[in-house]
Chains A and B, each alone.
Chain A
């Protein structure tokens, strides 16, 4: 009786407790944003990415993630453009230096595939997004890769004259690759 009670309690505790979080390896992780400017695809990369991922392959739906992106590290490959995108009409990096994604639900949608629901916050505006991604193990690390289309205007990225979507499409594809140490 005692033993059964103990086991039950232990199982409940396990299910309830979060999977231990691992720190995202910034050197091997990347987040980029691709947008279209009068039909021309332009990709910018966030050079500084961090955060925590708790992921147990035995219990994928219990996974949790918080991804932080340093907005000032956005690199379009041109100093003048990099300066421009930090201005008030764009990221307003001085007021909103960080963008983040915080997961709230995880669904397993196939072998090595997850759909992670959560809140994406950029420039102080939060939008719920569903992010499809793939998970795989690679030499002692776990690798999460995926991409998600977002609407820049929902985050007030490109205000004033820049709202014109014929000049700059509303849709932006955010691509990411996050690497954490594999759970033991």
Chain B
């Protein structure tokens, strides 16, 4: 008879350090529900240029026409009309940390932003309830001609407005899906980054998002343009406190990678357990350009997240490294998409997922090679680790290859922690708990090592917390 496996009690991740709320004192609040009048109000209060006002209204029309997705985890508990979409806090945009109001400062202080500022980050754009409150661009980076500002200032500026208009929601059009359309109607805040030709930004740029009010939805828009031959690493991290009312995050990230340019986009999504994270991220890569995605999905109640890359130019490349961790009450549907439109392009997707405590992970991907994209190579590797038999893990990859001059490989694995590996580690004196911890940390290592050491916004701590709390 087989020896019964001893089950160590799994500690749930201690999220309480993120669950703190500041008293909400909004200076302006939009009525609940989504009507053209409300969209007009938002547009007016923001001082949008006319084209943006029209764009918002058009997006609302598209939103009303599109259905909810017929696949993926259920979206029960999400009623968009109930969510207040816009709250502007008292504080205005600041260039210096010292000018930011205390309660907001405390929020970021607690979550580690000032340290990040001190530790050689080029600049921090931090969002507080739909507005970018704090912003600081280091002198060196500004001198290189790098523009890192909030989306709304960029939109209204004479210099960058046309650039915004050229690219805004062209990479992710509102027609794409319902939440892209919603985003187009009510977007607010976010970052705009422009890196001029040939400029290599030495230090990673960082952005930070946070929700605070009950029922607030966050719809920040990030637009990054990396010009020909330029190089940038951008880090996005987020956190939100826990509320009883459903919270929605329908942000949009558009990345434009120019000829022979290089962009690395790292994210840690650590929304609280009641969040619906329906984010859309997409990159368009020009000839010889490279996009690297590094993605860690840890939080939220329900997540739909599939960073997509369009390899438009010949010899363009995409690398995707991701980890998804679903614990109790979580349904995280994540993955990646890539379209090879041009010849001799390359893509590599490497993901890991972990499910425990009834959590559900779905890996969903799409690799598409168009008829004229000859000479392409693509490889996908997805590995799933199940830590108990009450959780779930689905792998749903699709490859659509439309010419013969390709090399496409795909492999997937699913299983539990190997007993032999545990035994081996224990035979070297490591306790069972630590041995399992090591194996799971080793499992997550490919993502952890892609993030820069200076990245102070919870990431490495977060992984440690998640991993140390998770034992098979």
Partners in one complex: no
